[in-house]
Amino acid sequence: MKKVFTLVAVLTVVAIGGAAVAGYVLWGRVNEPYKGYEAAEQFVQVPAGAGGAEIRQRLLDARVVRDAFTLRAALRWTGNSRALQAGEYRFDRPMSAVEVVDKLARGDVYGRRITFPEGLTIQEMAAIYQAREFGPARDFVAAARNAGLVRDLDPAAPDLEGYLFPETYAVPRGTPAARLIAMMVDRFRATYTAELQQRAAAQQMTTREVVTLASLVEKETGKGEERPLVAAVYRNRLKIGMGMQADPTVVYALQKAGTYNGNIRREDLAIDSPYNTYRHAGLPPGPIASPGKAALEAALAPADVEYLYFVSRNDGSHVFAATLAEHNRNVQEFQVEYFRRQRAGATR
């Protein structure tokens, strides 16, 4: 009897030891980094509603996990077999089966990046949206008509012109235009803070007026140090009832009419549009582009100067003036004489 008990004890120890060894081997297998694909990166698309078998097969076909046994073991080990989420996943390094499963369980989907620079219109943003193959431009334009997204900020907005914040966004493949538009408006709200809104109220400016003025500033200069100066020019003109006479508003009017060809002719300054600030006093009826943070801040914190005019130096910067006589001298130097020299140099 004693020998039997001894044998049982020995077998039990062997079994426990064997289980421990097997467990150790299995743990090592599911945690060992693996990369079976040759390219620098691999994408795996998990369709919505895909079952466990289909998801496992897609991971195996993409060679982001070693084999079916390892993948099943990782799923059991993590307890995430029913938690895998749909979406597009990017793999660019060796990963263990546990890491792969955790990535899908977290829904760590790949965000495709799309960048909208400052100073673009809805139509120009839509062109980028289509060019980057996120979807048709018409879908972006249609989604941007949802002025209800800013109704509390701007009850008069007919669309979201000016409220689609210029930024780089990362969105999963297949994200509808309406979702991206909502993200852009959310980013605007985060930028146009309560402090800026309070400052606008203190200056008796509506959100629409602030964004419209900021859009003029954004279109007139790309230099950070000039934004408060440009804002000051327009604020000073508003104060004395002087026309804005802003070329970018004429461009916008021509764009809306579908007649802009990249240049402004003298006769274009007479276009019959409420956005033509050569014909209509005050700010245009709404934003002419999407301003960035610096332009919004400049609109509410213009420089303390008496400038009423500015003209391009033809190098991206501007020269400012407080009087018409000074401005005319600047125009003569930086426009008339500059282009005269350019033409003379071209004919040599």
Task: Identify whether 199 is part of a domain.
Answer: no
Q: Label residue 19 by pLDDT band (50, 70, 90).
A: very low
Q: What's 50's domain CATH number?
A: 3.30.1490.480
Q: What is the pLDDT of residue 25?
A: 65
For residue 303, the tally of other CB atoms under 10 A from its CB is 19
158-167 pLDDT per residue, tens: 999 999 999 9
Q: Label residue 33 by pLDDT band (50, 70, 90).
A: very high
Q: Label residue 14 by pLDDT band (50, 70, 90).
A: very low
Cα–Cα distance for residue pair 31/48, rounded to 1 Å: 27
**Distances 274 to 45, 68, 249, 280 between C-alpha atoms, Å:** 49, 66, 9, 6
Q: Is 159 in the same domain as 87?
A: no
Q: What is the pLDDT of residue 77?
A: 86
Task: Identify whether 211 is part of a domain.
Answer: yes
Top-confidence residue, 94 or 30: 94
Q: What is the pLDDT of residue 199?
A: 97
Task: Identify whether 343 is part of a domain.
Answer: no
How many domains does the chain divide into? 3
Q: What is the mean pLDDT of residues 329-340?
A: 88
Question: Is residue 22 over pLDDT 50?
Answer: no
Question: Is residue 140 over pLDDT 80?
Answer: yes
Reduced to 3 states (helix: H, G, I; strand: E, B; else coil), residue 315 is coil
Nearest CA to 26 among 91, 71, 60? 71
For residue 106, the tally of other CB atoms under 10 A from its CB is 12
Q: Label residue 342 by pLDDT band (50, 70, 90).
A: confident
Q: Average the pLDDT over each of 2-6, 296-300, 307-311, 315-319 and give the range with the smallest value.
A: 2-6
Where in the sequence is the domain holding 187, given as residue range(s)? 112-191
